[in-house]
Copies of this chain bind each other. A is one copy, B any other.
């Protein structure tokens, strides 16, 4: 028999799936997160583009585990993990000892070493990020309405997105619709349809992990919506209100960085093998080499499939890893031997939406686009949202937006915007 104290760091898809999977296992679980909520990240871009409001895609973690007296949720920040002493040190709480540790802190935005760009280009990994992007874009329109200067107006209504993966594509399509449809009649001096969305991708095609046919469809649909797509283009520099690419400086009020992620900060505290972006390299059973009771799951981990490909940093993968590790721990608590089957990621398909009635769907040999793909995307996302209330509220919000082209979550508030003329 082993001790049954399980500490899970991170309340995202990985951590939550693991905690859920441990139900009835006899484990005494402590789950620590820096925020009080579980975030449905695939829909974070909806908050950034004023389609949904923050509470609709986030659910308080305590609320999720109300009926699990075996889970103690702590709102705290993990400062350090002592792998030898088996202790987790936090900012506010006394250190917590563990018998099994699950690291599930996810990813953070990476500027590929150009950390100075973080001050001018907003990432999209948290609710704060999404709300800040939304605020910046909406206030850009407001300031343009207030402005006399044509050049200034153009800059205020220009948005640059770096990164042509699903996040960048979804943002670009949604922002294009914001100007061309949602805000169209709201202003009297500016024409929101003149707003420019520029999507920059370093590689030769959008959605590089998708099949070429779907990449082309995404490109066509975005261009049809007026998005300027620049392929095979690297960002050379980002300054306040400016993006520098080869031979061109783009003045832009809002700049979003969706071009790279790296492992969350916690990986920096751990003296274990990692890849270049800080992801923790794990054994086939997702344990850290040399520490069989410490697991890393989700975006903080780096693991290859049997066929040599990397397990992608997507929500379904994190959930599968969480469930897998819960099974491993459950077996150990029952006294089972350590040899379990290795983790295998089951790719159940990929979806990316581009705009109204336009999405791409990929299920192995099956690829399709357009209205059907979009309906499927809608259905899948509603299904997976956590919590009844969120599902119904999101459905209602989307139904309304669909029928009336009206985006609900455009309310802006916060104390400092009026005084901050330098933004």
Interface residues of A (CB under 8 A from B): 34-37, 53-56, 58-60, 62-63, 66-67, 69, 71-77, 91-94, 126-128, 131, 138-139, 142-143, 145-148, 183, 185-189, 388-389, 392-393, 396-397, 400, 406, 408-415, 418
Contacts and interface: CB of A to CB of B under 8 A. Distances in A.
Given A388-B400, A413-B35, A91 B418 contact: yes
B411 A185 contact: no
Contacts of A62: 183, 186-187
Nearest to A418: B77
B400 A396 contact: no
Contacts of A34: 418
B418 A66 contact: no
Contact of A185 (B35, B66, B406, B413): B66
A334 B121 CA distance: 53
A127 B63 CA distance: 24
A86 B392 CA distance: 50
A189 to B, nearest CB: 7
A147 B94 CA distance: 9
21 contacts: A35-B412, A36-B411, A36-B412, A53-B55, A54-B413, A55-B409, A55-B410, A58-B411, A60-B186, A60-B411, A62-B187, A63-B186, A72-B189, A74-B146, A77-B418, A92-B146, A127-B411, A128-B413, A389-B397, A393-B393, A396-B396
Contacts of A71: 188
Nearest to A182: B63
B142 A410 contact: no
Contacts of A186: 60, 62-63, 66, 73
Contacts of A94: 148
A69, A128, A185, most chain B CB atoms within 10 A: A185
A408 B55 contact: yes
Contacts of A66: 185-186
A65 to B, nearest CB: 8
B393 A128 contact: no
Given A63-B410, A66-B185, A126-B413, 20 more contacts: A34-B418, A36-B142, A53-B54, A54-B411, A55-B409, A60-B410, A60-B411, A66-B186, A72-B189, A73-B188, A75-B145, A92-B146, A94-B148, A127-B413, A128-B415, A388-B400, A389-B397, A389-B400, A392-B396, A393-B396
A69 B186 CA distance: 9
Nearest to A56: B53
A36 B74 contact: no
Shortest 10 CB-CB distances between A and B: which pairs? Answer: A62-B186, A75-B142, A92-B146, A66-B185, A72-B188, A127-B413, A53-B55, A58-B411, A37-B411, A55-B411
